[in-house]
Structure formats: C-alpha cells, structure tokens
Structure 1
C-alpha cells in the first residue's frame, strides 16, 4: 500500500477511453498514482497485481460488469478495507442498492462532477489514513508480541492464581508478588461461561469480557482458557489479551459508516426536494390541453428531456420538446431557462424564429462549453390549418394523416441551441399545412435509441410501423406499447420523451 500522506494508488476502470483519459489526467493532477483498466476482468487482475488504495469503477462494461468486478475485488481485499466508488450513468434506486450489495462504498453519477469526486477522494483518503494508522499500530503491537506474549495466568481448581508472566504485570499493573495467591476475579471479575451456565469455562474458545486494571478501570479483553495437569493437579491456563485498541478502531469504522450513511441520506433528501421543485416548474397548465398527449421517461431521478405547451392570447398553440446534454439533475437544471422563456414569449404570441433566437442567446450566455439543448418548437394556427416548426438537434418530426401514414417529414437541419451565437445559428422555421385528423409526432433521441435486451435500437422504422393503420385516438397508446414491448427488461440509458399533437 502506498503512503497516504500525499497520494493514493488509484485503480480507474471505464470502457470509454475518453472518460478514462479524462479521469486519469484529473487524478494525476491531484497527485495520485493511476492504474487504468478498460473492463471488469482487467480490473480484477490489476487489483490483484497492484494492490491499489482505492477503486473508481464504471458499471456498464464488456467482459465483466462493475457489479461482478466489485464483488471479486472485495473478496480479495479481506485483510484491509479498499474503498470502491462506482462511477455510472445509472442512478436508479435499484442500481444503487445493487452497487452497495456488491460491496461499493460510494456512488457518483455521470457526467462526473469533479468537485464532488475530489471531495469524496479526500474523505476516503482520511479514512484510509486512519486505517493505515490502525494497521501500523497493530504491526507495532505484533512486533512486541513476537517477543513479549500476552498475559498468561495459571490458576488452580478454586481459581487461585498460581503463576503469571511479565506481560500480566504490564497489562494489569499488578506485580507478580501481588497477584500470586489472589483469586482470578481480581483480574477478570466476570468469569467466562459457556451457554451451559453450570460450566465455568468454555475451554479452547476465545471469549470477550471486561477485565480490570489495578487502578480500578475496566477494559475490553479476550480470554482463551485451556486445562492442564501439573503435579497431579488440574490447572487452568488463561491467555488474556487487551483489545482496547481494536475496539477503538471498530468504533471509528462504525462512526465512518454512520457518517457515510448520513451523507447519503442528506443527498437523497436534497434530491427529493429538487425533484419536487422541478416538477412544479414542468407540470404547467398548458400541458393539460386536450389536443396534446405526451410522456417523459427519465433515465435517472431527473430528466434532461422536457415538454411544454401553451396557448397565446390570440389562440395560437405552441409546443416544445427539448433535450439537454446528458441526463439527471445537471441536465434538468440546464433546461429550466428554456421553460421560463418559452412560456413568457408564447403568451405574447411571438413568432417561432424570435423565440428560437432568444432561447439560443440565453443558453449561449449561461451554459458552459460542451453543454447545449436540442429543441423542436412548433406553432399551430388551428383556424387556418397552418403551422411552423423548427427542429434543431432533436430527431426528425412527423406529420401523420388520419390513417397513420407519414404525410410530411421535418428533418433536423439546425444546430442545437447554446452552441453558436445567433448570427451563426441560421435556419428559418418550416411552414406546413394539414388535412383533417392529422397529427404531429415529436420525440427525443432517447426514444429512437432505446434498446431491447439484445441491444437493438427502437429506431424510426418501428415508430412509423407503430402508427400504421391506427386511428388518431389510440395512436399515442400504440406507440407507447410498441416501445415498452421493444425494451422489455432492458434498462434505458437515456431520457425518453414523446409528444403527439392533434391538428384539428
């Protein structure tokens, strides 16, 4: 094990080489030694060969997943505690429970918040330092024990002390002369017994009890008693060990576990509060419009996909489907400015182009580099049976006729919002008209990329097939059923959103 004063030896495991490289650079910048592996099987081999201090472990990997790798690593690390922190895009409760059951000590979701990761590393480093101090202390005691054995006390059938060794004087504070002829109760007031209370001593078994020092204080100890015959008399030989240091270490480990649990409970409470606040922002009155049906299925507790709808004072119907980079709480926060601007501008009857430019300007100013929001924005003039649609970064949208056939396709020809300035964004909305009982279908890439248990994606073809020869009233339900049947038991890796709008 490396010295923990300045650095740790960290095993980083991820099948994504880009993620692994970023993680390696970050850890080296913090001064740690880094060992890398690209799958669970390689991680187990390198753990056995390198004996790292800490493991950062992805879950979804080829050859051997993170859960199995964690179980094998924990099985090998019996003599010392080696923390395992899962780094994964999976953050459902069942994923967290399975991770903890596999032996994980903590859990951090992707995309990784490196500030939080650094804090977790410092916390683990403190715990490992305490463990190292305990190990060093144990080694010092062991070195002494190699030359000076534990207290050995010999007593007769009546429990009278016949002889003691020098360690007895050190452990209990009494001199040999003071102990000879005294009862064992002087050292061990509570005599060890077996389950059968008629038997005074459980011979050959190590039992825990409270021992007493000369100064009157009690301390935890173990005693192992064997029976011998000396000079035709039955004698009991008790080997007594002071385990005060071990108990203090165990108490410290329990305290560390309690602190980790408190941290986890606090994090969960904060996430539940954030979820309630997000739901209040997302579930507005406009989404209750009887011409609209939608679903949003988050990959985690929070969704980076949002849907919104509103009617202007002049009666125009607006709808929005947005998909922020990533998923989880970070992605959900990224789309909040989009919601506020959408509802404010649609209430004022603003044209699609103006709304897009304002959204892009706000996101470009407020979001960090590398984060953006893909958007489909629709405005319908139901009185004239005409509409405008702008698609940027989301999958193509479809206009279906009354029989479920594709009447018009609206391709994604624009950049997502927040990447370039308004002068570079370009792209005017597409104008269209419709016939009676037509419907618009919008979706995020999470729907088209949803996989079955074999890894096959849902795709555009299955979406179109699900609508064929269906009536407008049950078309949304048919698409949902087709998606659920395709996914089966597979776990979604991205947020899924779907919106169907009746065009009267």
Structure 2
C-alpha cells in the first residue's frame, strides 16, 4: 500500500510570517513534514519583500505583528500583480465576526484561531490545496485559449469594458507594426490609435487626424464590421463584437488580395465571420469551464469550513483517541467510532489499498457505512423484529457484508483491510473481527502487551469469504490499540521495518502517556525511526483507554494472536 515519494521538482512552497521565532519554527516543521518547502519572515514588510521575489503556494501569517500586521500584509500582497494564486491563512486570537469579515475583505482565504491544532491546520491546508488545484486548472485552460489565439492567422484583440487591452496576439502587433513595449495589458485603445497616427500607419487619416480618430472611436463603440487600409497598402477587414461584460473582441483579417475582386471580398467576409463564430464558441466554452470550476471552488470552500475533526471521545471514564496521518494530500486510511447502545460502542480502522483521491473516496465511502445510529444508515445495525429496535450484527457478519458490497455493488478493483471492535463499556468485553488488518494490541494496566486476532482475509478480493469473531477482555486501566500497517511496516534507512517488536517497545516506553498525547508520541517515534519528515504509507490508529468494568469478578485471560495463554 506504499507509493513513491513525490518528485522534488513538484514540491510545494509556503511562507510563514510571525514575529515569534518559536512559532515560525513550529509551523515550519509541520509544513515540511507535509511536503512543503518553507521560507520564514518575521514581519509583514519582510514577507512582502519575499513575495516580490518568488511565488508561494501557501502563506501562513500571524495577525498581530509590529511594523506591518497580517491584515495590512494581506492587503498589500493581494495588490501585487501575481499571475499564480496563493492560498492565504490568517492566524489570530480574534474570533468576532467583524474581524473575520475584515480579513475576508482584504483577501484572506481562511482563518485559524490560536493556539492552532496541527490536525485542523492540516485539514484547512488540504482544502486549500484543492482550491489551488482548481485554480491551476483555470490557469491551464487560459493558457490553452492563449495558444489557440496565437495560432490564428489573423490579428486578434480583446479590450475590457474600460477600453483597456486584455489580450492581443502577435499577429495583431505585426499588422499595425506596434512596438511590443506599447502593446501591453492595460493599454487604452485610444492611446494605441494615437500612437499609430503619429507613426503614419493610417493613410486615410493624414491631414484629418482628429476627425478620423473621432469616427474610428465611434465605430469601435458601436462595434460591427469595417475595412481599414494600412500605410503599406494592405487592407484589413475589422470584425468587432461586444462581450456580455461590456468588453470588445475583434479580429483583424488581411483581405488585401481578396479585395481585388468582389467574389474574393465576399469569401473574405465569410471567412472572417466563420472565424468570429469559432472564436465566440471558444469563448462560450471557456466561460462554461470557468462557471463549472467556480462551482467546484464554492463546494470545496463549503467542504473546507465543514472540516471540524474530533480526535478524542469520552465515554463515561473511558477515552478513545484517534490518529490519522496521510502520506500524501489524502489517503485511504480511516478511523472512527459510533454508538451501538447505551453501554456499547463500535470502533473501526480501515486501510484502502493505494493512496490519493480514489483511495480517500473509497475510504470515506466505507467509513460512511458505520455512520448513524439507525439500521437504515449503519451496516452494523439490524432491526430486531421482536422489539422493533436496532441491534448489532456480529463483527464477522459485518466484515462479510462489507465484502459482499465491495464485490457486488462497488465498481472497483481496489481492496481494503479492516479491524472492527464491538466493545461493552460496562463489562470490558471485546468482540472483534480482523480482516487482513494488523493484529490489534492490548496493553494491560501493569504494562504487559498482548497482540490479538487471527489475521483474516482482506475485504474485496474473494467472494463469500469467511471471517471470524474473536473475543478479548479489558480490565480497568487496560487499553486497546487498532492501527494500520503504516505503523509496523515503517522502514528506516537500513530498510528495516518498525514491526510488532518496535510497536511493543514503544507501548512499554509510553505506558504512562495517555490519550492524544500517546498517538502523537507514537507518530513522532515512527518519524524518528524512518529518519524522514513524511511517511511512505498512511499511518492511522484508534486507542481506547478502558477505565470501567462493573460486572467482572475475575481478571482477563491473556491472548497472543487470538490464542488464549494459560497462566
């Protein structure tokens, strides 16, 4: 389930702006771990100077800074004529609506309240990366349009509603022999006409330049078709049309030879009209593309603001802590929990083969099968015909149902592994299925470590595959860990795997570390082992710390890989 590391020339860039060196170092470490090449600035002034020298995909800026605060820096940065878009996140302790509105008004894309949660920051950045990817699609489409315009045999020009130049191809400049230094974006149409008049480009204007200019501007504002003779004797057919936003698009077709005969002139007009229709069709198609991308950007923004992850769940004294670290932008690992009944919960850990968007979509789809508290929504639950209430399938039946769905209804050749546990929070009894997933591990209150489970087949490979439910027992102070193979198969520089021995040693080492502190510490242990800032495979885990067992009278049996060990 591993994939090659991204090419160095595809590395993303980020600018971190904060007057606190410690804060800059923290964010730099996180962003480097997530695949970013970072640069730091201690003030808005320094950051603005850096932005004039290079492009950054992501800008992470504090709000409150001396000399130039984050708000003013954002305003000044957006005023720069950047061809590529940068995603701008403001970090602030302000949380009132006026502050948020002010930040959005100057061009900020998102906000994060201090202190910043690394998981929330990663989620926001991931959503921002989707926005940047869509922006790159827009830029690519614009490049394709420019290439198409340059490929025209005729002169093409486009002015906006303020009569300022938006686009002109090389042929347009050649026809009028305009200095490239003059024919630049933003140049006024009237100024271009005056420049050509001073150069004697229009023979029919000599001696009556003011009248000629006035009539030419009237024709321009009215749009339509006209002809024009240049100083070198060539005759141009001018075709101009008004765009929906008040701009004007025009073609300059050289009809010198065709003007010698009436039939040739008609052919020239037809060709110019056809080219105009083709151009309008291309512009309409491009507008449709812009509209579609704009809708996607809006949906991505909505998704971004809905990403509020809860890493820790409390269940009357017992605590569940979650870890999810993708090797790339998105991954195929998913972990989560749901309520089965008053005293029972379900915990699942999913690992879809492969990485990227396809794996993430399938992982999310499978995780969605565990959502909701009703049998219509949750694949674990079934309606009891006697009571009319929901009850739970056995874990092995849950795995079989997902396997059937994967093979019969999901049109994919991808497979996945899963560990799903049904846990009674009053008695501490565990009923668990292991379908190709790494062996779950129990750490007893006295520090002993026990791997449980029977391995099992992956899901989505074999029709009618059979799965087994195994049982284990938790006592107060024990904890259960479900994890993906990104943990045990983590490779160091000597090509050695972290393995179950490494996990066992880490559990013993971190026996007194609890909750999210433990799963974060496990992640850092893996990074130290690998010697790299990012993982080759997705890493995920779910840690249940059990602190209640009202119905037990005997200590639990010990298990190794699902086999009971006699004391």
SS at match of 1:404: coil
- Checking the alignment, whether the CA contact within 8 Å between 2:312 and 2:320 is kept in structure 1 is no
Stretch deviating more after TM superposition (247-256 or 345-354):
247-256
Q: Aligned partners of 1:396, 1:255: CA distance in 2, in Å? A: 57
Q: Aligned partners of 2:334, 2:199: CA distance in 1, in Å? A: 76
Q: Aligned partners of 1:386, 1:345: CA distance in 2, in Å? A: 21
Report what 2:300 is aligned to: 271
SS at match of 1:417: coil
Stretch deviating more after TM superposition (255-264 or 493-502):
255-264
SS at match of 1:105: helix
Q: Aligned partners of 2:487, 2:170: CA distance in 1, in Å? A: 58
Q: Aligned partners of 1:454, 1:259: CA distance in 2, in Å? A: 53
Report what 1:431 is aligned to: 471
1:320 paired with 2:348, answer: yes
Where do 5+ consecutive residues of structure 1 fail to align? 1-15, 18-58, 69-74, 76-82, 84-89, 108-119, 147-162, 188-210, 220-241
- TM-superposed deviation, 1:442: 0.5
SS at match of 2:378: helix
Q: Aligned partners of 2:340, 2:127: CA distance in 1, in Å? A: 40
Among residues 309, 317, 321, which one is paired with 1:294 in the alignment? 321
Q: Aligned partners of 2:172, 2:342: CA distance in 1, in Å? A: 84
Matches within 5 A, 1:345-356: 345=382, 347-356=390-399
Cα distance change of structure 1 residues 338 and 487 upon mapping to structure 2, 3 Å threshold: same
Report what 1:60 is aligned to: 6
- TM-superposed deviation, 1:67: 6.1
- TM-superposed deviation, 1:386: 4.2
Cα distance change of structure 1 residues 216 and 477 upon mapping to structure 2, 3 Å threshold: closer
Count of residues paired in the alignment: 339
Report what 1:480 is aligned to: 520
- Checking the alignment, whether the CA contact within 8 Å between 2:428 and 2:474 is kept in structure 1 is yes
TM-score (norm 2): 0.46
Where do 5+ consecutive residues of structure 2 fail to align? 14-54, 56-83, 85-123, 157-168, 178-196, 222-235, 241-246, 252-278, 372-376, 384-389, 550-567
Among residues 327, 330, 333, which one is paired with 2:361 in the alignment? 330
Cα distance change of structure 1 residues 244 and 460 upon mapping to structure 2, 3 Å threshold: farther
Report what 2:405 is aligned to: 362
Matches within 5 A, 1:64-213: 64-65=9-10, 92=126, 95=129, 105-106=136-137, 128-133=147-152, 167-169=201-203, 173-174=204-205, 176=206, 179=207, 185-186=210-211, 212-213=214-215
- TM-superposed deviation, 1:388: 2.9
- Checking the alignment, whether the CA contact within 8 Å between 1:451 and 1:492 is kept in structure 2 is no
Cα distance change of structure 1 residues 256 and 135 upon mapping to structure 2, 3 Å threshold: farther
Report what 2:480 is aligned to: 440
Stretch deviating more after TM superposition (400-409 or 491-500):
491-500
Q: Aligned partners of 1:475, 1:131: CA distance in 2, in Å? A: 61
Cα distance change of structure 1 residues 126 and 314 upon mapping to structure 2, 3 Å threshold: same
- Checking the alignment, whether the CA contact within 8 Å between 1:466 and 1:478 is kept in structure 2 is no
Report what 2:378 is aligned to: 341
Q: Aligned partners of 1:444, 1:98: CA distance in 2, in Å? A: 30
- Checking the alignment, whether the CA contact within 8 Å between 2:311 and 2:321 is kept in structure 1 is no
Report what 1:306 is aligned to: 334
Cα distance change of structure 1 residues 383 and 96 upon mapping to structure 2, 3 Å threshold: closer
Matches within 5 A, 1:462-477: 462-471=502-511, 474=514, 477=517
Report what 1:388 is aligned to: 431
* Cα-to-partner distance string for 1:61-103 (whole Å, 9 max, x where unaligned): 26x44669xxxxxx9xxxxxxx9xxxxxx98256568879xxx
- TM-superposed deviation, 1:262: 5.7
Report what 2:544 is aligned to: 501
| Greater relative CO (CA pairs within 8 A, separation 6+) | 2
Among residues 388, 413, 416, which one is paired with 2:458 in the alignment? 416
* Cα-to-partner distance string for 1:320-362 (whole Å, 9 max, x where unaligned): 2223343545232343234443452495133222222222222
Cα distance change of structure 1 residues 165 and 439 upon mapping to structure 2, 3 Å threshold: closer
* Cα-to-partner distance string for 1:169-191 (whole Å, 9 max, x where unaligned): 2xxx43x4xx1xx5x6556xxxx
Q: Aligned partners of 2:202, 2:515: CA distance in 1, in Å? A: 85
Q: Aligned partners of 1:298, 1:366: CA distance in 2, in Å? A: 29
- TM-superposed deviation, 1:444: 2.4
